[in-house]
Every structure is written in structure tokens, then in C-alpha cells.
Amino acid sequence: MDKQELKKAGLKVTEPRLKILDFLHQSSVRHMSAEDVYKSMLEADQDIGLATVYRVLTQFEQAGLVIRHNFEEGHSVFELKDEHHDHIICIKCGKVDEFLDSTIEERQRTIAQERGFKMTDHALCIYGICTDCQE
Amino acid sequence: MDKQELKKAGLKVTEPRLKILDFLHQSSVRHMSAEDVYKSMLEADQDIGLATVYRVLTQFEQAGLVIRHNFEEGHSVFELKDEHHDHIICIKCGKVDEFLDSTIEERQRTIAQERGFKMTDHALCIYGICTDCQE
DNA sequence: CTTCTTGCAAATCATTTGCAGGGCG
DNA sequence: CGCCCTGCAAATGATTTGCAAGAAG
């Protein structure tokens, strides 16, 4: 149950946090903006303010439950934290797809090492036009 | 001379544009925010408004003279457009370094192709702690 | 009970835009 | 001269914060 996940993350179990976490788990769409989550809450008759959505999402991020991305749009996008992966984004419809490539992963480690960087994270984002939008 | 570059880009030659383009060429720092450029203009006794800096930088971007990045900070960063390369950023001091890796470049093309995407662009960003900041 | 949360409105921040005066070609 | 450009201030859009009232443990 989500309650456990919240407790384990050191967060009090509250209605908004439960609802939002549940929604993230339930939803078929993986990447969502704060606004998206907010709207969904409204539609589900949940009375959660946008500010709270931002606060909760930020707490989730700090707790490591969620990852926040700043793709080349203007706003942040959140997704549940799972195994690491990179993104490929359609510049027409905004659809986000995921992938993982060990060759690239490895090269990245090497590159960071070569310049004396202690790598903490990395983000690879391919932009393009998806099959649907090419028609 | 920068004047030619502006004309070729289809932009009228004006004081602000010349000054900003010149500054981008001159500066030893390659990646700058609009704010950075604005401050530099002030220090150089140039009376250029922040709005104009944004406008000029955006025009440069559309003209292909400059690239705009949205790294994981909150604001945009601009750099002169040269050959393509990726970035490695220090999360302590914000220093930006560059690199290019053909293995990765190639894998990216393959990945996009595999999922039917027509790749238009891509951005790889490694985050870490640079040598200086590891002390 | 004490502390952590929330909703709402006001406050920020980065960036954009409207407008009237000026400058380039 | 006409149209593009600029500075300034006001408008935006995304995200954050202050505060008093309400829950969680």
C-alpha cells in the first residue's frame, strides 16, 4: 500500500500525498507536469490546491520517490523513480518515450572519469518526430 | 567583422546586437544566461535593457548563431553555435565543460531509428562534481 | 497537545510583450 | 521617410512562500 511508501520516505500520511502518489502509480501516462496532476485531482473531486501539488511533488522528489525533469519546454515534468533510463521526446506532440542503452551508459562514465568529474547523474534526451507525427 | 555576421543572418546592424555578439565572441566563458549578458553590458557602460538582451538572444537563436539550453537549473543558458557537442556540468560550481563522443552520437541515431523517430536534435548532459570542487 | 500540512492569496523569478520614441537602410 | 529596433514598464506563466486554520501521531 502507498501508506507504507510514504512512511518509509519519512513523510506523514495525508490525504493529498496519498492521492497524488496513488495517481502517479495508477496513471498510464508516466510523465506529468504539476498542472497535469492538479487537474487530475480536480477531476477526481479531490480538493487539492496547486501549491500543495507542487509541495508534495517536491517532497517526493527529495524523498527519492520521484524524479523531476526540465526538458526543453518551459515547465517541469515529474515521473516515478524506477530504474534509470533516458528519454526520447517528440517535438510535435510532446510524447515521451524511454530507453536505456548500456553502450551509452558506459561511455558516459568513462567521459566523466577522463575529465576528473565524479559523476552524480546524467540525462540524455533525444528530440525528434515520432512515427505518428511524421505522416 | 561581426557586422557581416549579422547581415548574413538577416538582422539589421544595430548597437545592441553588435555589442552582444561581440561580447559572446570575446568572452572566455562560453555559456551565459541572459542575466549574465545583461550585467556585462552594464559594466561595459552599454545602455541595453534586459528585454532587449532577451530579444536579441532569441533572434540570434532563430538565426542559428546561438544555441539556447535549458539545463536542470531554472533559467536558460546561451552559447555560440559551433560544431555540435554535449555538456558535462559541475553541480557545485556550475562550471560547464564540453565533449563529443562518436560512439554515443552513433548509438543515438540508432536508437531514434529503432523507434521510428526522425531525430532532429539531442542533448546529453552529465552532472557531477569537478576536480576543483572535490577537494 | 505539538508539530507537520494544507489551501488560498500574495510574492517571486525568468521571460515576454505593449507602446511610444529613435535609428537603420 | 517607412519599418524595424529599443528601453521601460507592465503582463505572463511557472513555481514558491506566508499565514491562519486543520489534521497526524
pTM for this prediction: 0.87
Angle between helices B50-62 and B15-26 (to 10 degrees): 70
Question: Using a 7 Å CB cut-off, which residues contact strand D?
Answer: A 7, 12-15, 33-35, 50-51, 54-55, 58, 74-76; B 11-12, 14-17, 47-49, 51-52, 55-56
Only one residue has cell 477531476, namely: A43
Q: How far apart are CA B3 and CA B23, in angstroms?
A: 13
CA atoms within 13 A on the CB side of A111: 27
Is the model's pLDDT at B94 over the cut of 90? Answer: no
Q: Which of B117, B121, B133 to mutate to test the interface with A (most CBs of A within 10 A)?
A: B117
How many residues are present in chain A? Answer: 135
Do B120 and A99 count as a contact with CB atoms less than 8 A apart?
A: no
Q: Which three cell numbers stand for residue A33?
A: 507536469
Give the minimum alpha-carbon distance from A23 to chain B in angstroms, rounded to a whole number: 25
**Among candidate residues A54, A62, A59, the one with its CA nearest the CA of residue A38:** A54
Q: How wide is the angle at C-alpha A26 spanned by C-alphas A81 and A40, nearest 5°?
A: 100
Strand nucleotide closest to residue A18 (CA to C1'): C5
Q: In this predicted model, what pLDDT tens digit does every residue of B20-75 receive, in sequence order?
A: 999 999 999 999 999 999 999 999 888 999 999 999 999 999 999 999 998 877 89
pLDDT of residue B72: 77
Instruction: Tell me the nt nearest to B53, Cα to C1'.
Output: D6
For D4, which residue's CA is nearest its C1'?
A: B12
Quote the pLDDT of residue A43.
92
Average pLDDT, integer, range A51-57: 98
pLDDT in tens, A79-123: 999 999 999 998 878 788 999 999 999 999 999 999 999 998 898
Please tell me the predicted confidence (pLDDT) of residue B56.
98
